[in-house]
Amino acid sequence: MGQIRVEGRLICTTEAQAETARKLLPEHIRLSRAEPGNIHFNLTQGEDPMVWHLDELFESPEAFAAHQARTKSSAWGESSGEITRDFTVTEEEA
């Protein structure tokens, strides 16, 4: 099985969404980087203050599935549902 790469953007359409991102993303990033099977997790705000760029790599589909499960029940997952996710998930050779 290959590694799972996630690349793309989080796009806020309101200042309230951007404030949610600024408030909750630091802890989401910290927890994501600490997960077993996380190779790297980069989520940075772009020049546009309403857009964050993401580049994530997990060692396996199972590690990515565990990340998604943890995220869904986290403060970030519960509060950021209206923020647009524009990303691709691909499997790469390890």
41-64: per-residue pLDDT in tens? Answer: 999 998 999 999 999 999 999 999
Say what the pTM is: 0.91
94 pLDDT band, cuts 50/70/90, is: low
Evaluate if residue 40 carries a pLDDT over 70.
yes
Q: Which domains does the chain have, with CATH numbers?
A: 3-92 (3.30.70.100)
Q: Per residue, what are the HEC states of the chain? A: CCEEEEEEEEECCCHHHHHHHHHHHHHHHHHHHCCCCEEEEEEEECCCCCEEEEEEEECCHHHHHHHHHHHHCCHHHHHCCCCEEEEEEEEECC
